[in-house]
Structure 1
Amino acid sequence: MLDLNVFLTLAVAVLLLVLPGLLLSLSLRMRGWAALAASPLLTFGLVLIGILVVGLLGLDWTPWSAGAVAAVVVAGVAAGTAWRARRRPAEVGAPGDRPDDGGRLWAVLAGVGTLVGAAIGFRTVVVGTGGLASPNQGFDALFHVNLVETITRTGQVGPTVAGELNGYPEGASVYPDALHAMASLVDQFDGTSLTSINALMACIPLVAGLGLVGLLRELGLFRAAAVAPITLAATTGYPFDLIWRGPIWVFVFGITFVPAFLVLLLRTLERRDVALTATFGVSTAALALIHPSAALSAAVFGACLVVGRWVQRTSPVGRDLLVLLPAAVLAAVLALPLIGKALVDTSGGTVVDWPAVQSAGEALGELLLYNYDSEYPQLWLAVPALVGIAVGWRTRGLRWWYAATGIVLVLCILAAAYEGPLVQLLTGPWWNDRFRFEGLVFLGLAVFAAIGVVQIGGLVGALLHTVSARLGDRVAVLRTSAVAVGVVVVVVLMGVLSGFYVQENRERMETAYVPGGGGAVSTVDVTAFRVLGDLAGRGPVLNDPNDGSAWMWSLGGVQPVFGAALTKPVKPPLPDDRQVVVDGLNCLDSSERVREAVEDLGVRYVYSSEATILGGLTPNEGFRDLASVASLRPVYEQDGATIYEIDPVPLQESPDGSCGLS
């Protein structure tokens, strides 16, 4: 049974993701599945505007301030659209204003498919994350959860707030934080920083499913639209592998909006409306504020769509550019001041070049067989996907999807199997990470798998039609709905035989969301955090950046000095006092410089754990051998978790052997 608290957190997350954007899409006179599909991306457009407005007005980021901004924007758009409609009534059947078609039956089945896909996603993530409450043990998890904690506790929002986690001066460290801003709103309504961000991850199949339904119905693939949310939600490679691996939450969440981006792009190109064009530009900037490489991924798919229109001569080049160029300029004007530093300042990030680990054939085979970096293939998805690839080409309006999927597939193979400057140039914007490309490939394959299911279901339907014809008029309904029944039969059979891979995907997630603790943070740490709260209150407490102790904030309510792990080399450089303790806290007995740094940080306690995020000895020399430091008096010790009270002894003339400073 679903726990009430989990249900409430999920419900809040769904409503905040969908409802504001849906109101905006309706005010723009979008209707039907297109309005619903675009709504989560439009919500983040409102989040972007909210971040700008509350920053300019000096307001705290709360549901009320964000909601007020959204309400004003929606009301203004609705009023403007109504005024324009009175002056220039829309023509009946005008492009972009057409009602969704395809029959009521397939529209209903699309709704059912979306709900089933959402249920698969909810069950997989909720169980895999221990009821949304288990922390991910990956390197980046601390940063993301504590960034949500920072926004919630300080009321500050915007990409520069990320620097506060490790005490950087304002503007020294910039990170796109639209996802974290949304998680903070969920947190403030119902939940914690951890459960809120886990809940948003659980919503990925729902958001992506809505987008795929809207996109495929725009392309006339009404039958495949009913199946795509299910084939997506059952896939290991996207989203679940990207949720637990790393974790690369901002990227996997960002590419979830690619289908919604394409729906909005199509409607914008068709209608050529000023308000919709501006909204598309704002939404594109918002996608970049979730993650720039997710916006780049959407641009790859979008470019293939637009070029496909030009190749098939369904739209003049100049006509499309008159819409695209102003939207692109607006997106740049909004996004670059917020995250431009993160994009162009190489001193603020790390260049990553992962080694080649596969042959090209291995990478291609594992992708097409739904077997990427896993023990067994997902044959109940792979077979329909291969069928869909074979038959989908007959649909002219879908051929651009082949191009987009092919591009990300090639990039995945390059990242997995090849080295060299050209490979780094092409894959660098995605951190040369084959798993990021894996997610994009499986997003593309979800459409082909849906087409394959429909094709197989059509064969089953033909058989049912033959049977019904022999039985006569008594089963006339079966005869007229044979294809739909056949598709339902195939989907149900997939569910019975594979369980939609919920158990397998849940078990893979649990390798990072370790039940009962383990890894960087364990039940031992959680118990120690409670003791630390009694001793230090809300903090701050000095901690090793790389031992997982920063979880004390979200799990124990105690603010750490270092809220995120450090990479080597540290970029950008830490403030002097923080670098001193990282390098030489264990020199506290002999270094006046270290004592001054500790005093400047305003701390009374130090937390230390034997476990480190990446395993092995901590890379921060100042936090090694703390037990030998006389000025650190242990007040709590349990299974490798130690709380020290800072109690300086008279300065020694020379450092002892444990001192990390030269």
Structure 2
Amino acid sequence: MWRFVWISLVPLIVTVCGLLILPGLLTTAASGLPLRTAAPLAPAASVAIIAGAGVVAPLVRVPWGVPLVAALTAILTLAAALARLIVSRVRARRAGSADGAATRAPTSRPSRADVLTGLVLLGFSALIMTWLVARELNTPDAISQTFDAVFHLNAVEWILRTGNASSIKCHLESPEGGVYPMGWHTLVALTMKVAHSTSIPLATNATTIAVSALVWPGGCLALASRLFNGRRLAMIATALLCTATASFPLLVISFGVLYPNFLALALLPGMIASLLDLFPAHDEPSAPPLLIPALVLAVAGLGLAQPNAIVTFLITLIILMGAWIMRAVNGAKRGGPARQIRTRIIVCAITTLATVGVWIGVRPPQRSATWGPNNVMSAVIGEILTSTPQGLPIAWVVAVPAIVGAVAAWRRRRLRWLVIFHAVGCLLYLASKTMPMGDLRYYVVGTWYSDTNRLAALIPLGAIPLAALGTCVIADRAAQRLTTLRLHEPGARRRIAYAVLVANLVLLGPASTATSQALHKLEAPYTMNAGSELLTPDELGLIRMLPGLVGEDDTVAIDPSTGAALAYSLAGTSTTIKHIFYHDTPDLEVVDKKLRLAGKDPQVCEAVNNLGIRYVLYFPGRTLHNRRPFSGFVNLPTAGGFELVAQYGRAALYRVTACG
């Protein structure tokens, strides 16, 4: 039975994968991008289209859903194809060639063997990541017992129920609405619509698995292919190493739960791989004409998932521009045009100013950046050197090759930018762990809420490609020293060294004790028991009974810190509050503070009737983060004016009888 339930996730996972690939790939391919660029950009472009449809829907006055997403995909695909045709004809005229043959840039299409190797390695990584995430979740319909889970699950129900998926006007936090990136939530909601699913936890977990198994390793492999010219050992190492770092994706689907950050960071490796096309070497094909518009669409997808990922992307862009400028300087020293230096410096300066503006503009209010320093510098430096942040068990299979790879990359002018990129991520993490509270800390890491977990997730972005390079260096050195085997052909020694190394990657990576220990720690938020912070088995049992007890138009009063707010997403029951940080209306404030006095205070009944409240969910016991319960819900069974409707263990549903 247990295996059958897991198998039931397969249609949902396949649906998510299709939604992540098809809309974006149609658009990027129509733009004329080569496969090595179009495919890595596709998931971010798909998120932009799916979530962007939510922004467009109120403007065109149609509900968000499959037809609108399909229409927007068709419009963007046709627009891309038309732009490609126009650009092609303009370039042909400029070259004086009717067919445009003289203007075609050389292409470096991957061979069929390279494509097949990439797909096999992606499938291998996908299986491992699916297994790891399933171990962390424990059950297919597991619910994260964390603060943000209330918002993320309820946001999906809000979209499904109202047809409003706008990131500009999200009403879950306040009646007047506010800005909140809905990339994750629209992806889950669209998956449910396409697959005809009715379970938000199942769809959420299927999306988690799909992003972990497809987007993350796919992007890492695309980046490795670009950095190391498709070298097979580097690709094999990357396929294994991207499954061996617990700080991403396993950490961010444990803490928080940080679904938007998880999606955005998973998109980054593929986008960085495509970004490299903007800075080709002299022996590489020039950038496709429509690459920049495609990147802009993908960046929109990043922003609609989690805006802080845009800052990370722009940091990468500036670092690559710095290497671009140095390449022009070196070219000028060899007699090349000096004008290139000035042009590139101007472009880099403008980009840097724009990045500073985004850095400041996308930051949440300072009151939201509440996480403070929590470790000493020496300990944090140790975490950085071992590529194992947040005190997770050390994965030596990543740590040692990453150090070797950093040294090797610094010696190669073409790859120095990768060392700098990794260093910037590590310095941001160091600042979040050690810098004292204040304006400077907020300026440096406030974009990420000063949260060490979000910044810890950046470290694998640089560590994995460096570790892949380090793996190749170690293997090559080992092959050179295997002279005692008396193998006359260097290729034979190399194959033995590679085989031994790959075996060690498997045993010391996803199959290692360190990974198991990390999973044991990170699976805790998905474990439901009588002492759970958010929902206990009794409370979940009562929530599942609600559709048969409460009318569709009836509103249930709840205290969200008890987990009762999840009745909205798990049972489709209308609740007074749908998010723990909801901004109260005057009537809600009365209910929260005085509900138990409904039989004595006329003001309470006035608020109850104004809100249409007919029932109350009473979940006594532990609250999330030990928050103080609403005073209006304390000892509710002893208050007059409430009739018991149903009880499941300690959890109870009461009808309000005091207000007529």
Q: Which residue of 2 aligns with 1:294?
A: 309
Identify which of 182, 186, 191 aligns with 1:177. Answer: 182
CA spacing shift, 1:646–1:130, aligned 2, 3 Å: same
Aligned partner of 1:508 in structure 2 is 521
Q: Please point out which of 86, 107, 111 is paired with 1:98.
A: 107
Which structure 2 residue ranges, 5 or more long, are not aligned?
93-99, 281-285, 332-339
Aligned with 1:588 (options 587, 590, 598): 598
Q: 1:475: which partner in 2? A: none
Listed one character per residue, the Cα deviations across residues 515-565 of structure 1 (whole Å, up to 9, x for unaligned) are 567331122112101232211133431111211112212322323221111
Q: CA deviation at 1:413?
A: 1.2
Distance 1:649 1:106, change over 3 A: closer
Native 8 Å contact 1:268 1:280 kept in 2: no
Shift of 1:288: 1.3
Kindly state the Cα deviation for residue 350 of structure 1 after the two structures are TM-superposed: 3.7
1:414 aligns with 2:439: no
Pick the aligned partner of 1:198 from 186, 193, 205.
205
1:436 paired with 2:454, answer: yes
Q: How far apart, in 2, do the equivalents of 1:213 and 1:365 lie?
A: 27
Does residue 123 of structure 1 match 2:131?
A: yes
Partner SS, residue 242 of structure 2: helix
1:529 aligns to 2:543 (yes or no)? yes
8 Å Cα contact 1:605/1:645 also seen in 2 = yes
Rounded to whole Å, the distance in 1 between the matches of 2:555 and 2:345 is 54
Instruction: Indicate if the aligned counterparts of 2:136 and 2:526 stay in contact, CA closer than 8 A.
Output: yes
Equivalent in the alignment of 2:8: 5
Q: Is the 8 A contact 1:243 1:249 kept in 2?
A: yes
1:15 aligns with 2:23: no
Secondary structure at the residue paired with 2:562? coil
**Distance (Å, rounded) in 1 between the aligned partners of 2:271 and 2:593:** 46
Aligned counterpart, 2:88: 85
Does residue 255 of the first structure (1) align with residue 304 of the second (2)? Answer: no
Change in CA separation of 1:48 and 1:499 when aligned onto 2, cut-off 3 Å: closer
**1:344 positional shift:** 7.5
* Secondary structure of the corresponding residue to residue 240 of structure 1: coil
2:343 to 315, 318, 334: 318
Q: Is the 8 A contact 1:520 1:611 kept in 2?
A: no
CA–CA distance in structure 1, aligned partners of residues 352 and 426 of structure 2 = 28
C-alpha distance 345-482 of structure 1, shift in aligned 2 (>3 A): closer
CA deviation profile, 1:57-113 (whole Å, cap 9, x unmatched): 122221222122102211231233134334535667966x62246x76665443333
One-letter code of the match for 1:643? Answer: L
Once residues 120 and 214 of structure 1 are traced to their aligned partners in structure 2, the CA distance between those partners, rounded to angstroms, is 18
Given the superposition, is the C-alpha separation of residues 464 and 557 from structure 1 closer, same or farther in structure 2, using an over 3 Å criterion?
Answer: farther
- 2:353 and 2:272 map into 1 onto residues whose CA distance is 14
* Greater mean deviation of Cα atoms: 544-553 or 51-60: 51-60
Checking the alignment, whether the CA contact within 8 Å between 1:358 and 1:417 is kept in structure 2 is yes
* Matching of residues 469-488 of structure 1 within 5 Å: 469-470=487-488, 480=491, 483=494, 486-488=497-499
How far is the alpha carbon of 1:327 from its aligned partner? 13
SS in 1 for 2:170: helix
Distance 1:87 1:415, change over 3 A: closer
Q: Which of 130, 136, 149 matches 2:144?
A: 136
SS of match in other structure, 1:237: coil
1:58 maps to a residue whose letter is: R
After TM superposition, the score normalised by the length of structure 2 is: 0.86
* Structure 1: gaps spanning 5 or more residues: 473-478, 651-662
Deviation string, structure 1 residues 491-516 (Cα, Å, up to 9, x no partner): 23221344445534443332111156
Query: For residue 455 of structure 1, what is the aligned residue in structure 2?
Result: 473
Amino acid at match of 2:200: S
Query: Which 10-residue stretch deviates more, 495-504 or 121-130?
Result: 495-504
- CA–CA separation in structure 1 for the residues paired with 2:449 and 2:129: 27
- Residue 493 of structure 1: aligned partner: 504
Shift of 1:613: 4.5
CA distance in 2, matches of 1:118, 1:611: 40
Q: CA deviation at 1:415?
A: 1.3
Q: Matched residue of 1:642: which SS?
A: strand
Partner of 2:249: helix, strand, or coil? helix
User: Which residue does the alignment assign to 2:76?
Assistant: 73
Change (3 A) 1:28 1:613: farther
- C-alpha distance 177-499 of structure 1, shift in aligned 2 (>3 A): closer
1:597, CA displacement in angstroms?
1.3
Query: In the alignment, what sits opposite 1:368?
Result: 385
The normalised TM-score by structure 1 is: 0.86
| 1:490, distance to aligned residue in structure 2 (A) | 1.6
Distance in 2 (CA, whole Å) between partners of 1:516 and 1:612 is 12
Alpha-carbon shift at residue 640 of structure 1 (Å): 2.3
Q: Which residue of the partner structure matches residue 51 of structure 1? A: 54
Task: Provide the residue aligned with 1:445 in structure 2.
Answer: 463
Tell me which residue corresponds to 1:354. 371
- Find the residue that maps to 1:40 and give its secondary structure: helix
Residue identity in the other structure for 2:71: A
In structure 2, the partner of 1:548 is 563
Q: 2:337 is matched with which residue?
A: none
Output the CA distance in 1 between the equivalents of 2:398 and 2:364: 42
Q: Is 1:306 matched up with 2:315?
A: no
Counterparts of 1:286 and 1:328, CA distance in 2: 22
Aligned residues of 1:41 and 1:283 also touching (Cα < 8 A): yes
1:400 counterpart = 2:417: yes
Matched, 1:562 2:565: no
* Cα pair distance change 1:499/1:92, threshold 3 Å: farther
Q: Secondary structure at the match of 1:635?
A: strand
Deviation per residue, 1:217-270 (Å, 9 max, x gap): 333443334432421222111111111111122112212222223233333466
Q: Amino acid of the residue matched to residue 146 of structure 1?
A: N
Secondary structure of the 1:643 match is strand
Q: Distance in 2 between matches of 1:272 and 1:359?
A: 45
Cα 1:38–1:19 change in 2 (3 A) is: same
Instruction: Give me the whole-angstrom Cα distance separating, in 2, the residues matched to 1:63 and 1:320.
Output: 45
Helix, strand or coil: the match of 2:549?
A: helix
* Residue aligned with 1:610, SS: coil
For 1:113, which of 106, 121, 128 is the aligned residue? 121
Identity of aligned residues (%): 23
Cα offsets for 1:111-143 (capped at 9, x unmatched): 333222222221111232234310000100110
SS in 2 for 1:536: coil
Q: 1:614 to 1:49 in 2, by over 3 A?
A: closer
Residue 6 of structure 1 contacts residue 131 of structure 1 at CA under 8 Å; is this kept in 2? no
* CA 104–508 in structure 1, closer or farther in 2 if over 3 Å, else same: farther
* Counterparts of 1:455 and 1:277, CA distance in 2: 34
Q: Which amino acid in structure 2 is aligned with residue 358 of structure 1?
A: N
Report the 3-state secondary structure (helix = DSSP H, G, I; strand = E; otherwise coil) of the residue aligned with 2:647: strand
Distance in 2 separating the partners of 1:87 and 1:528: 66
**Secondary structure at the residue paired with 2:372?**
coil
1:605 and 2:615 aligned: yes
CA distance in 2: counterparts of 1:180 and 1:328, whole angstroms: 32
1:380 aligns with 2:397: yes
Question: Helix, strand or coil: the match of 2:238?
Answer: helix
Distance 1:417-1:91 versus aligned 2 partners, 3 A rule: farther
Shift of 1:641: 0.8
> Is the Cα contact below 8 Å between 2:48 and 2:304 reproduced in 1?
no
Moved more, 304-313 or 515-524: 515-524
For the Cα contact (< 8 Å) 1:48–1:178, is it kept in 2? Answer: yes
| SS at 1:114 equivalent | helix
Say if 1:92 and 1:241 are closer, same or farther in 2 by CA, change over 3 A. farther
